[in-house]
Amino acid sequence: MSGGNIRGFSYLENLPPITFRRLYQQPATSLAIFRRMLPNLAKVIVTTLLYNDKPIPLADLEALIRPESHRQREDAFSKLRRLHIIAEAADGISLDPVFKKNFRLALTGGGSHHSFGVPCNTPDKKNVTVAFLDEYAQKKFESILHFMVGTHNDTKPGDGVIELLCIGKLMERQGKGTQATITKNGFSFLLQEGNSQIWALLIQYLDYAEDLKMEKTDVLHFFLMLGSLELGQAYAIKTLTLTQRTMLTDMRDYGIVYQRKASSDRFYPTRLATTLTSESGGLRSASQTMDVATGADKADDEGKGFVIVETNYRVYAYTNSPLQIAVLNLFVRLTTRFPNLVSGRISRHSIQEAIKMGITADQIISYLTVHAHPQMRKNLVILPPTVVDQIRLWQIEGERMKATQGFLFKDFTTAQDFEDVARYAGELGVLKWKSVQKRCMFVTRHEQIAEWLKRRAAGGKR
Amino acid sequence: MPRAVKGVLVECDPSIKAIILKIDEDHHHAFIVEDLDEDHLVVKEAKLAELKERLEKILEKTQMMEKDDDSDPDQPG
């Protein structure tokens, strides 16, 4: 999967142009945006333009791309425009000068920007190993997940974390001073994969930081810089800005960085930090997060799966972890519990309850699949197809109407106009519905189409 | 130039659509932006939740849902 499609992270695309200009002032940030937010074709376009001093005509660039891939081409160009990476003039396309300069710096080195962090080379009194960092990150992040489902763990997350969960509506407090309880959003958050979870938290943090009068770009720089740091290496704090130093305390609570003491002059990024902007970070699935959260034994890889689903909708789960039981309880009606086993049944009622909480059938199915007991993996089809189909059917049953947010375009002057726009929208993959007789159509996003209409009106080209 | 209107596209069965039209009529056309065809219409974004709620209520009255039996047939008691 080429990056950028993760919920939470894609929010960044909607930042105003001025924010992007400021973001590109740091080489590390430019690199992170290139790596994580651009589709592959857009990367090719950027690298083509990078060492060209003169603008390149649009037609020349388009000649590089196979005509049948026009959909990807439009997608790539619109991404680049939206991120303000390319600038268009009469004589062709060039990269944003600030982006160009800093991206070159990121690739070839040089400058004294410190944007990749300054390694701390003096030996630390206590040796900090990668294994230790992993364990630390796991413990911290696990305590957040545990806290969300309300299992009482010996380590409670910091107050800042709880505050953030409440602000992000992942949890809510009924009254002042009462225990926070998990919300619908919180449940679907739990079933997301690890990297999305962290980004969801960070994006929330970003919004929250603005209320605290922290500089948004500073915060973003820091997030994206964390992604380019090296695991197991200590970094100096002295080059960080004041805002970023304040953030360190919070990042420590999420398990994203490690500091031995608050007064320490160095910090260690954990695996959660270093995978922030890499695509492989997405590989950590919900199941692994759960394993992290439940402290499942990593060495014992085969012991991962613990759920058996029978064709009669009975579910047996070999677990005694409160977190896993709590998650199963979201969509299984659990009836009996033994020291190492819980059993129950999937019913229409239990599935529809889960769907009401905002969990989708696909999330349930993928959870059951990744956690399937090794015994079930011996079959060609892991889950019984009847159960899978039935879960999907139960979901559809609850959906009397399917709602899609977007925009209705109408009042086209000519049939030709309508056809052109409809075709363009189809190429972009945003067209949901159209009617030739009524000359109107429904699309999920309007920015690109509006832009295209404007350009067409201006140039009369294409 | 064409115009763009923000809204939510609702896809549903014609039977459901008929109920939505009725709800809209009873509430001084507060919900629907545009009626597209027999199984599509566009409604106001802010009103979607309310519309869903009203629809559920009406369906509850008119439809008999089979009672979901949560008890396990294989287990006595």
- The number of residues in chain B equals 77
| Residue-range domain boundaries for chain B | 8-61
Please say if the pLDDT value at position A292 is more than 80: no
Backbone angles phi and psi of A243, in degrees to 5: -55, -45
pLDDT tens-digit readout, A407-432 = 998 888 888 888 888 888 888 778 88
User: Do A310 and A337 have their domain in common?
Assistant: yes
What are A159-192's pLDDT values in tens digits?
Answer: 888 888 888 788 887 766 667 777 777 777 777 7
Chain A environment of B70 (Cβ under 8 Å):
333, 345, 347, 349-350
Which CATH number characterizes residue A13's domain?
1.10.10.10
pLDDT at A204 over 50: yes
Indicate the pLDDT class of residue A289, thresholds 50, 70 and 90.
very low
Place of tokens 């027999």: B38
- Cβ–Cβ under 8 Å, residues A432 and B9: yes
The answer to whether position A291 is within a domain reads no
What's this model's pTM, rounded to 2 decimal places?
0.66
Q: Are residues A452 and A383 part of one domain?
A: no
Average pLDDT in chain A: 80
Whether residue A114 is contained in a domain is answered as no
Average pLDDT on A316-333 reads 84
The structure tokens listed for B40 are 């599509």
Query: Does A326 lie in the same domain as A243?
Result: no
Chain A residues touching chain B at CB-CB below 8 Å: 312, 314, 333, 335, 345, 347-350, 400-413, 417-418, 421, 432-433, 435, 438, 440, 442, 446, 449-450, 453, 457
Question: Could you tell me which residue, A207 or A341, shows the higher pLDDT?
Answer: A341
Position A10 confidence tier, pLDDT thresholds 50, 70, 90: low
Listed residues A353, A374, A400: the one ending a domain: A400
- In the predicted model, residues of chain B with pLDDT beneath 70 are 63-77
Is beta strand A401-410 parallel, antiparallel or unpaired with respect to A440-443?
antiparallel
Secondary structure of residue A52 in the 3-state scheme:
coil
Max alpha carbon distance in chain A (Å)?
A: 76
State the pLDDT at residue B52: 85
Same domain, residue pair A244 and A139 = yes
Q: Are residues A414 and A387 in the same domain?
A: no
Task: Indicate if A189 and A241 belong to the same structural domain.
Answer: yes
Q: Please write the tens of the pLDDT for every residue from A35-75.
A: 878 888 889 889 888 888 888 888 888 888 888 887 888 88
Give residue B66's pLDDT: 54
In this structure, are A40 and A94 located in the same domain?
yes
d(CA A300, CA A292): 13
Q: A185 with A234, same domain?
A: yes
Query: Rounded to whole angstroms, what are the CA distances from A237 to A114, A243, A246, A247?
Result: 11, 12, 11, 11
When scoring B33, B36, B38 by the number of chain A Cβ atoms within 10 A, the one with the most, hence best to mutate, is: B36
Distance (Å) from the C-alpha of residue B60 to the closest C-alpha of chain A?
A: 12
Does residue A353 register a pLDDT over 70? yes
pLDDT at A312: 92
Q: What is the CATH number of domain B8-61?
A: 3.30.70.1220
CA distance A11 to A279: 17
How many angstroms separate the CA atoms of A110 and A29, rounded? 15
Q: Is residue A115 part of a domain?
A: no
In this predicted structure, which of A65-74, A147-156, A204-213, A335-344 has the lowest mean pLDDT? A147-156
Task: For residue A358, give its domain range.
Answer: 305-400
B16 to chain A: nearest residue by CA?
Answer: A400
Chain B residues in contact with A349 by the CB 8 A cut-off are 68, 70
Span A122-133, average pLDDT:
78
| Total count of domains within chain A | 4
